[in-house]
Structure 1
Amino acid sequence: MEKKIINPWKWQDARNYVQAVEVKNATGTLYVSGQTAISDDGISSNEDMRSQLKQTIENLEKVIYQAEYELKNIVRLNIYTTSASELFQNFDIIKNWVVQNKIKQSSTVLEVKSLFETLKVELEAIVVK
C-alpha cells in the first residue's frame, strides 16, 4: 500500500491533520462506524468530555485491532461532538494520540445537536492496508 499526503499549505501541520490522503495499491479498506464512550456492556458514559474522549479512542482502537489493521493507516477521521468548545478544550487527547501513533489523516469536526443518550463525542474512521 502506498500513501501520499497532499498539503498545499503548512498551517494544518500544527493542527495534526492533512488536507488529503491518496492511497494506491491498498489490499483492504476498513470503514469503521462511529465509535463512542460505550462500555463493553453497552452502557453509554455520562462522564465528562475528557473521559469520553479517552474511552472513545480505546473503543476505536479495539475495532481497528480486531480487524487486524494499524492505527497509523487511518486515512480519514471524522469527529462529531455535542460541544465543539468542550472538545477543543480537551483536544490534546486526540492530538497526542495522533502524534503517538504516527497517523496522517484527513479530518472533519462537526458539532451536532445530539448523540445517542448521554454521549458527547463520536469518532468515525477509514483505515487502509
Structure 2
Amino acid sequence: MSEPNVHIDTLSQMVSVFGTILIYTGSSNAKQGECDLERTAVNPWEWSIKLGYNQAEMIDSATRQLICAGQTAVDENGAPQHPGDMRPQISLALDNLEAVLKGGRMNLSNVVKLSVYATDVDEALKNFDLMGMRFGPHQVAPPMTLLGVTRLAIPGLLFEIEATAMA
C-alpha cells in the first residue's frame, strides 16, 4: 500500500467554511497578547479544506499553551441556556470559548485544535456557518473533530466545544 503524497501548504489558501471564505496565511497575529504563531497546514488530501479545517498544522514559535475545557451554552452561573435550540447554543458556547481564551490572553486566532461534541450532528452542521463567522476573521482553520454523542454532562445541552490554543 503506497502512502499518499503529503501536501504542505505554507502559502495562502482559500478555505470555504459553509459559505464563509477564510484566508489561511500560515501565520497568526493575535490582537490580544503577543502572538506570532507560524502555522503550516498539513493536508495529505484536500477534502477537509473544503469543510473548513486542516488535517494537521505544524506549529512553530509557540511559548504558551492553553488547554480549554469543553464550553457549552451556560450563563456566568453555569445555568444551561436555550434548551433544545442548537443555533443559540453554538453561539453561546463560542462566546464562552472566547471568554476563556481572553482570560488566557489569547483569542480564536490562537486555537490550534478543536473537538466538538453534538447530540445531533446533522443539526450542528446546519448551523456550522457560526463557526466560519467566528474563525473566519481570524484567518485560521484549526484541525477539528466533530463527534455525535448521546448526551452531554448537563441535560438540555446540545453542543460542546473544547480547544487547545497556543501563543
TM-score scaled by length of structure 1: 0.93
User: Is it true that 1:40 corresponds to 2:81 in the alignment?
Assistant: no
Whichever residue aligns with residue 121 of structure 1, its letter is F
Task: Please identify runs of 4+ aligned residues in structure 1 that moved more than 4 A.
Answer: none
User: Which structure has the bigger radius of gyration?
Assistant: 2
- Extract unaligned runs of 5+ from structure 2: 1-36
Output the amino acid matched with 1:96. Answer: M
More helix by share: 1
For residue 27 of structure 1, the aligned residue among 63, 66, 80 is 63
Q: In the alignment, which residue of structure 2 is the partner of 1:51?
A: 88
Report what 1:123 is aligned to: 161
Residue 97 (structure 2) pairs with residue 60 (structure 1): yes
Superposition deviation, residue 10 in structure 1: 2.3
TM-aligned CA deviation for residue 119 of structure 1: 0.4
Amino acid at match of 1:6: V
- Following TM superposition, by how much is the alpha carbon of 1:95 offset from its aligned partner in structure 2, in angstroms? 2.2
> 1:101 Cα shift?
2.1
RCO higher in 1 or 2 (8 Å CA, sep ≥ 6)?
1
TM-score (norm 2): 0.73
1:5 aligns with 2:36: no
1:82 equivalent among 103, 111, 119: 119
Counterpart-to-counterpart distance in 2, 1:113 and 1:47: 14
Decide whether the 8 Å contact of 2:72 with 2:159 is kept in 1: yes
Instruction: Count residues in correspondence.
Output: 129
**In the alignment, residue 160 of structure 2 is paired with which amino acid?**
E
What displacement does 1:47 show? 4.8
